[in-house]
Structure formats: C-alpha cells, structure tokens
C-alpha cells in the first residue's frame, strides 16, 4: 500500500520564482523534493492546479509517495 502527500507550490511574482511557503519562509521546489526524500518519500510528478493569463502556470502540486 502507498501513502501519498501533496505539496502546493505557487508562483511568487516578487521573486519571479515558484516557491513553497512554510512558516513565512520561501522554499524552492528542489529543496522540497530533497526534504521529502529524507523523510522516505519518492517524487512522482507535478500536477497543474491553476493557470493564469495566456496559460502560464500559477500553482501546482508536487506529488510524493512512500510505501507503508
């Protein structure tokens, strides 16, 4: 059986980067993947959640899984 976890990443217009905000700290998606790997999760894929003007990606979920 698998356990799945979803982490929402949003576009930050001030820094022009995609970030995950945790305790008012901006974390890059790459760092999120590394942190989740340390917890035993495997990165599966990203899922678009919200698109902006002209189809630009505004939010997406990083999908992780691990065996339980």
What are the extents of the domains in the chain? 2-67
Once rounded to an integer, what is the mean pLDDT over residues 62-66? 97
**pLDDT tens column, 28-55:** 999 999 999 999 999 999 999 999 888 8
Task: Kindly report the average pLDDT of the chain as a whole number.
Answer: 91
Burial 7-16 (b: 16+ CB within 10 A, else e): bebbbeeeee
> What pTM did the predictor assign?
0.85
pLDDT tens digits, one per residue of 4-37: 999 999 998 877 878 888 778 889 999 999 999 9
pLDDT at 25: 86
């Amino acid at each position: 059986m698998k356990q799945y976890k979803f982490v929402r990443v949003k576009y930050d217009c001030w820094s022009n980067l995609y970030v995950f905000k945790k305790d008012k700290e901006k974390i890059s998606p790459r760092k999120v993947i590394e942190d989740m790997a340390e917890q035993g999760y495997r990165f599966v894929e990203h899922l678009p959640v919200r698109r902006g003007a002209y189809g630009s990606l505004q939010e997406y979920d990083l999908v992780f899984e691990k065996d339980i």
